[in-house]
């Protein structure tokens, strides 16, 4: 155990120093160009997304994006440390004032060590066979006086099939159009940020077997100062999924 801990500590320290250097370079570069490069990595005790556990283990989640004015294009991924789950997402988002419109290509080839679709190759995009799933989402984020956020997303193409809730759809491999709607509220307590979230699914599909609450939780986050120019954000979340009768307590850090 001591050897494993020593290796992990060394890797974590190197990652912190690299990310600190990258962030300082990014801050300098943004004064010379209107394009902003965003690089970060989250390390979480569990990957809980919209009320479900993906991987059943700690996960490493890198992200890379470019922002130009109101447009952001990037990539986000998650890899479970037990090798039971991997995900690579490509996304594009347009923001106008408090509103956002985003498109996401979710690529999930395996879940719990099993293939998620008939064809798990990355460049296979046939609607009924692909491991990709496309989502269109709308969002609203309030200002400081009323920090409420709202979002709604729907899968419209790809691997949103064969959920076992609708016989006709399953036999013909039709899209379920799985949907997710979320509302949240944020406020600050001293140096801590608190977020409340409520997420529902209106129909049976990827998130649950029927209409209901699937994501109910509270999160607390703050930044720990490492050096004069570098801070590490940490976050702790208590999450419930009433429909699945499950609960999660998650810790994460961002490098």
Among 76-90, 108-122, 161-175, 218-232, the minimum mean pLDDT is found in: 218-232
Q: Which two tokens stand for residue 124?
A: 């296979």
What is the three-state SS of 68-110?
ECCEEEEEEEEEECCCCEEEEEEEEEEEECCEEEEEEEEECCE
* pLDDT above 60: residue 169: yes
Model confidence at 227, pLDDT cuts 50, 70, 90, reads confident
DSSP E strand stretches across 21-173: 35-44, 48-49, 52-53, 59-68, 71-80, 86-96, 99-107, 110-111, 114-115, 132-141, 148-158
Q: Name the residue among 163, 184, 187 with its Cα closest to residue 174.
A: 163
User: Mean pLDDT throughout 125-137?
Assistant: 97
* pLDDT above 50: residue 214: yes
Q: What percent of the chain has pLDDT over 90?
A: 78
Helices (H) and strands (E) in the chain, counts: 2, 16
Residues 6+ apart with CB under 8 A from 62: 40, 41, 42, 76, 77
- Residue reference for tokens 């290509």: 105
Q: Name the residue among 171, 175, 109, 106 with its Cα closest to residue 137.
A: 106
Separation of alpha carbons 254 and 69, rounded Å:
24
Mean pLDDT of the chain: 89
Q: What is the pLDDT of residues 29-55, one digit of tens each?
A: 545 668 999 999 999 999 999 999 999
* pLDDT above 50: residue 132: yes
Q: What is the pLDDT of residues 56-101, one digit of tens each?
A: 999 999 999 999 999 999 999 999 999 889 999 999 999 999 999 9
């Amino acid at each position: 155990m001591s050897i494993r801990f020593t290796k992990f500590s060394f890797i974590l320290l190197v990652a912190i120093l690299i990310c600190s250097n990258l962030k300082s370079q990014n801050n300098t570069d943004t004064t010379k160009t209107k394009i902003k490069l965003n690089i970060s990595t989250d390390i979480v005790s569990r990957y809980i997304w919209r009320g479900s556990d993906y991987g059943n283990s700690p996960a490493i989640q890198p992200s890379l994006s470019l922002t130009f004015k109101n447009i952001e294009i990037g990539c986000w991924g998650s890899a479970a440390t037990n090798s039971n789950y991997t995900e690579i997402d490509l996304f594009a988002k347009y923001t106008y004032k408090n509103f956002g419109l985003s498109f996401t290509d979710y690529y999930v080839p395996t879940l719990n060590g099993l293939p998620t679709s008939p064809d798990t190759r990355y460049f296979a995009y046939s609607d009924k066979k692909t491991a990709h799933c496309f989502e269109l989402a709308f969002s609203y984020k309030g200002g400081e006086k009323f920090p409420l956020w709202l979002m709604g997303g729907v899968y419209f193409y790809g691997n949103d099939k064969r959920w076992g809730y609708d016989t006709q759809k399953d036999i013909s491999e039709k899209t379920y159009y799985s949907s997710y709607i979320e509302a949240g509220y944020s406020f600050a307590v001293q140096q801590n940020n608190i977020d409340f979230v409520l997420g529902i699914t209106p129909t049976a599909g990827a998130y649950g077997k029927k209409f209901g609450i699937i994501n109910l939780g509270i999160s607390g986050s703050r930044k720990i100062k490492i050096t004069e120019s570098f801070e590490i954000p940490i976050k702790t979340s208590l999450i419930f999924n009433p429909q699945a009768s499950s609960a999660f307590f998650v810790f994460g850090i961002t490098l």
